[in-house]
Structure 1
Amino acid sequence: MDNHNKALIYVVTLVATLGGLLFGYDTAVISGAEKSIQAYLIDSQGLSSFLHGITVSSALVGCIIGGALSGVISSAYGRRIALIIAGVLFLLSALGSGNPEFLFFERGTPSMGLLWTFNFYRVVGGIGVGLASAVCPMYIGEIAPANIRGRLVSLNQFAIIFGMLVVYFVNWGIAEGQTIEWINEIGWRRMFLSEAIPASIFVLLMLFMPETPRYLALRNKDVEALSILTRFNGVEKAKEILVDIKKSVEKSSKGKLFSYGKLVIIIGILLSVFQQFVGINVALYYAPRIFESMGAAKNASMVQTIIMGLVNVVFTIIAILTVDKWGRKPLLITGSIGMAIGMIAISVLAFQDIIGMATLVFIVIYTASFMMSWGPICWVLISEIFPNKIRSQAIAIAVAVQWAANFFISSTYPPLMEFSSGGTYLFYGVMSILSAIFVWKMVPETKGKTLEEMEALWENKNA
């Protein structure tokens, strides 16, 4: 591949990963605002910790919906239009979450109606996240050459983590030097409103991006598909790739979900479940609160959250640099072992009521292990293990299950912590061990294989 083509592929990939950045931004913005939301909408009305948990994780309901709809939308309208729709939803959510009183309520007067309106706007953003989480890896995976596909899809995870890091800085910048009263009245609103800027940029740039050649081939738009493939790969290679794509499309014309057997669907679902059941989003959503429980002051907990965000970025870069060299399975198994060590150690410390620097160290070990493995590699595998004809349907199922698992883990965290903090972290540690066994026994290595070669693998297993 010449430099011009490689540069074009990276430009298109980077624009698509803005969807990942918004995914990270939207899911993590709540970390700086959740205590203010609790004070304004929960505690002021004497509501339960269960409603607090639901409010913090309400966007995940939208993520489940967005993930489930992603297959229908990306199949009917294309991957590009699906991402534009996601960007518009991010924008609407940012504006509505930052000013939920708009039109129907008096500002500064909390009520159940206002609580549900706030949650509605968070769900709208969640639908955008669900769409982006499914379609961004699909879009990149369908454009990327096999030899750098892992790296390019991993860039989406980097964008997710970078989005989280950006919003940690934004939240810290908004809260820095301000009183708790100001943050609880105005600061949390600015945190949500800040998302409108990257959302607008994403929508604008996606208007100029091409559709994926594999989607166009599925729609029998071979001339357009060949044109895009030629821009990316050169004339001869483009013709060769298009022939392979058309063969894979014709082999299973009906595209029924179980055309290639149930195993590939089960593996995709279990990848999604384990990515969430190891407990990563608890660490991300509740980071400032976790650090405050360790004795950090308000601003210090925000700074520690930023440090954790920087660790996440560094170890995601490690995954990007190694995924196409070492392979998917070695990274996943290594990460699972690291996560198990981190969470089990935190559990032991919690059972003994030891809170301090050791806890922070093991949280960093845990999150670093996740970010170099299950964070990016799960999305890489989900984007590449499914055959062309069922990819959009299968990814939609895997992503919807992933967000359902995320919602379950995140919403149960506050009541579980009230019951037993040590037991809660021990559960995540056990899930980390089980995730390693699952990868070792069931997940195929996909390094260096074209999407069409992966399709042949499932055909042989199902023969």
Structure 2
Amino acid sequence: MELINMFVFLISVFLGKLCLQLMVSFGFAILFVAGNVIHWRTLSVIAAIPGLVQLIGLFFIPESPRWLAQKGLEKEFEAALIGLRGQSSDTYQEALAIRETAEMSQHKSGTRVLDLFQKKYAHSVIVGVGLMLLQQFMGNSGLAYYASIIFQKADISATIGSSVAAAVEIVAAITGMLLIDKYGRRTLLMVSCSGTSLCLFLVGLSFSLQKLQNLKEVTPILAFVGLSGIGGAFSLGMAGIPWVIMSEIFPLNVKATAGSLVTLTNWVCSWIVTYAFNFMMEWSSAGTFFFFTGVCGFTVLFTWKMVPETKGRTLEEIQASITRFPQLS
């Protein structure tokens, strides 16, 4: 049983940190391809199966070492930390730092949402909420839900376009998974947003040039390249890294409340973009993509100015770096 728990623990850590976006991209790819041949009602029933598997899997996920330390479960805390770092690792210093953080959080328990808006948490809240808001307002939810319509408007086969886009997304997610701990979160975020911005601009340009008779053969090519690249560039970093950063930048005593706030922000913004996307396309197809291009450009600046690098740092080191990070002037 101990061996099984250790295996589940390691797999959950690995998938949670490195493979999140790969799994999301793989799921989207399956749905894109299957949607071309399966009725949407049947597809909805099939899509419920992974949810049931996750529900069962929740009973096998081990507790976090920091949570165990906060609850005073020393034996379980030490076992969880050793399981995370490996039997041969020296966890003394990290365990000491975690215990100190847990002890401090005991005096700050019962955090409310309003407590997050204290000056000491301002930077973390701005980064967490900002990344989630910008992630959605880059338009990815609308693009995913209206992919077939967009391909048709661009004079591209929806079946071919969605299949190619799904394949590119998987490759990009694998690439991002391999690069996240090599080049860091900030660098990958800025590269991802820059690439997404370029691809969105190409699609907007293709719709702008559709009215020109002598360029009608070129515009589908521009749109195909742009639409195929958007998902790939987005999956490279912006799709998954904000969730990683969100789990790293908040102190233990406000992590649960802050996590709820940023998750709520993400899904509310997702609903807004999904609801408004069709109206925006009716207003102007080119204008819609140029708007999202501008949001991507702003996200690059936001990341450069506000987002701290969390690669290879403990929670305690990240908190120290946030207090020293330059603010927007």
Write the distance in 2 (CA, Å) between the matches of 1:396 and 1:386: 12
Task: Look up the equivalent residue of 2:209 and give its one-letter code.
Answer: Q
Select which of 263, 267, 275 maps to 1:411: 275
Q: Does 1:290 align with 2:150?
A: yes
Q: 1:235 to 1:346 in 2, by over 3 A?
A: closer
Q: What is the distance in 2 between the residues matched to 1:401 and 1:197?
A: 27
Matches within 5 A, 1:26-425: 140=16, 153-174=17-38, 187-233=39-85, 234=87, 237-252=90-105, 253-255=107-109, 256=111, 257=116, 258=118, 260-296=120-156, 300-353=157-210, 355-425=219-289
The farther-off stretch of 234-243 and 449-458 is 234-243
2:300 counterpart of 1:436: yes
TM-aligned CA deviation for residue 439 of structure 1: 0.9
Given that residues 387 and 454 in structure 1 are in contact (C-alpha distance below 8 angstroms), is that contact kept between their aligned partners in structure 2?
A: no
Deviation at 1:315, TM superposition (A): 0.6
The structural deviation recorded for 1:326 is: 0.7
CA 1:283–1:447: 2 relative to 1, 3 Å: same
Structure 1 contact 5–231 (Cα < 8 Å) conserved = no
Q: Give distance in 2, aligned partners of 1:368 and 1:461.
A: 30
Task: State the distance in 1 between where 2:88 and 2:256 align.
Answer: 27
Decide whether the 8 Å contact of 1:260 with 1:458 is kept in 2: no
The 3 A distance-change label for structure 1 pair 295 and 309 is: same
Deviations 1:226-263, CA, capped at 9 Å, x for gaps: 22223333386344433221211223421543373311
Provide the C-alpha distance between the structure 2 equivalents of 1:194 and 1:424, rounded to a whole number of angstroms. 33
Alpha-carbon RMSD across the aligned residues, in angstroms, is 2.5
Q: Secondary structure at the match of 2:60?
A: coil
Question: In structure 2, how many angstroms separate the alpha carbons of the residues matched to 1:12 and 1:345?
Answer: 38
Residues in 2 aligned to 1:411 and 1:363: alpha-carbon distance in whole angstroms? 20
Q: Name the residue aligned to 1:135.
A: none
Instruction: Check whether the contact 1:154–1:377 (CA below 8 A) recurs between aligned residues.
Output: no
Give how far 1:347 is off.
Answer: 1.4
Change (3 A) 1:154 1:436: same
Partner amino acid for 2:124? V
State the distance in 1 between where 2:324 and 2:273 align.
36
1:417-462 C-alpha deviation (Å, 9 max, x unpaired): 1111111111000111111111111111111111221122235569
In structure 1, how many angstroms separate the alpha carbons of the residues matched to 2:64 and 2:54? 17
- Output the CA distance in 2 between the equivalents of 1:352 and 1:254: 58
CA distance in 2, matches of 1:454, 1:254: 19
Between the aligned partners of 1:196 and 1:346, the Cα distance in structure 2 is: 33
Amino acid of the structure 1 residue aligned with 2:293: G
Q: State the one-letter code of the partner of 2:95.
A: L
Normalised TM-score (structure 2):
0.85
Q: Kindly indicate whether the alpha-carbon contact (under 8 Å) linking 1:213 and 1:226 is maintained by their aligned counterparts in 2.
A: yes
1:454 to 309, 318, 323: 318
Structure 1 counterpart of 2:167, one-letter code: L
Q: Is the 8 A contact 1:346 1:363 kept in 2?
A: yes
Structure 1 letter corresponding to 2:271: F
Cα distance in 1 for residues equivalent to 2:84 and 2:173: 26
Count how many residue pairs are aligned between Structure 1 and Structure 2.
Answer: 308
Contact 1:226 1:239 in 2 (8 A): no
8 Å CA contact retained: 1:248, 1:455: no
CA contact (8 A) 1:5 1:232 kept: no
- The structural deviation recorded for 1:273 is 1.2
Report the identity percentage: 26
Which residue pairs with 1:12 in the alignment? 12
1:290-326 Cα deviation digits (max 9, x unpaired): 1122334xxx413421221111110111111111111
Q: Could you list the runs of 5+ residues in structure 2 that have no partner in the other structure? A: 211-215
Amino acid aligned to 2:73: K
State the one-letter code of the partner of 1:423: G
Determine if contact 2:141/2:270 at 8 Å carries over to the other structure: yes
| Structure 1 residue aligned with 2:213 | none
What code does the residue aligned with 1:248 have? T
Structure 1's unaligned 5+ residue stretches are 18-139, 141-152, 175-186
* Distance change >3 Å, CA 335–CA 386, structure 1 → 2: same
TM-score (norm 1): 0.62
For residues 7 and 209 of structure 1, the distance between their equivalents in structure 2, rounded to whole angstroms, comes to 10
Q: In 2 relative to 1, CA 12–339 (structure 1 residues): closer, same or farther, beyond 3 Å? A: closer
User: Which amino acid in structure 1 is aligned with residue 62 of structure 2?
Assistant: P
Q: Cα deviation per residue 1:261-282 (whole Å; 9 max; x = unaligned)?
A: 3111111111111111111112
